[in-house]
Each structure stands twice: as C-alpha cells, then as structure tokens.
Amino acid sequence: MPDNTPLERPEKQFQKQIGRAEKRRLAARENRNRSIWFGLGTFGVIGWSVVVPTLVGVAIGWWIDRAYPSRYSWTLMFMFCGLAMGCLTAWQWIVSESHHDRSDK
C-alpha cells in the first residue's frame, strides 16, 4: 500500500513520537487526582489489611481456647501473629505503591 505523504526526516519522526509520549504521560498524571478521597481510600486499604488478619487470628485463637483449654492463651498468640501479618502486608503495599509513584516521575 503506497503512502502518499512525503517522507519525514528521522529527527522529525522522533520528535513527534516523544511529543505524543509526553502528552500521554501528562494526561495520565492529571487524571490521577490525589484528593482527600484518595488519601482516605489509601488509609482504608491499609487499615483493613491490618484489621482483617488480626480478627481472623483472634477468631482462630478463641476457637482453639474453647476446644482445647490450656494454660496458654491461643487467642493472644494468634492475635499478635495476625497483627504482625497485617502490618507486614500493609508495609509491602506501601512500598510497592511508593515504587509505582516514583516510576511515574
């Protein structure tokens, strides 16, 4: 299929390609509006990633304490394990988001 447009110099093609890429990058940055709702959403994700494993740990520990009584509190042990797991998950999420934000700049 013949192209009827005159051939452009490679420098002009490269400049147009860079210009289009820059426009896409700026449009993407503008669309990612970091409002108070974004902050609250982030806070919510981090909170739930800590609370859910902690509550699961409490439930498992409570069930073990009821089914197999012992002098050790399985509820407390599993609560702290769930808390640690939730904090680790939240930390990993924050690190991945900060790396993602740095790659945009």
Residue 15's pLDDT band, with cuts at 50, 70 and 90, is: confident
Q: Which tokens sit at 94? A: 């924050």
Q: Tell which wins on pLDDT, 10 or 44.
A: 44
pLDDT at residue number 38: 73
* Farthest-apart Cα atoms in the chain, separation: 87
Our CA angle for 59, 61, 62, nearest 5°, is 65
pLDDT digits (tens, 9 = 90+) for 49-90: 999 999 999 999 999 999 999 999 999 999 999 999 999 999
Q: Please tell me whether the overall predicted TM-score, pTM, comes out greater than 0.75 for this model.
A: no
The dihedral built from the CA positions of residue 9, 15, 16 and 18, taken in this order, carries a sign that is positive
pLDDT digits (tens, 9 = 90+) for 24-49: 777 766 666 566 777 778 888 899 99
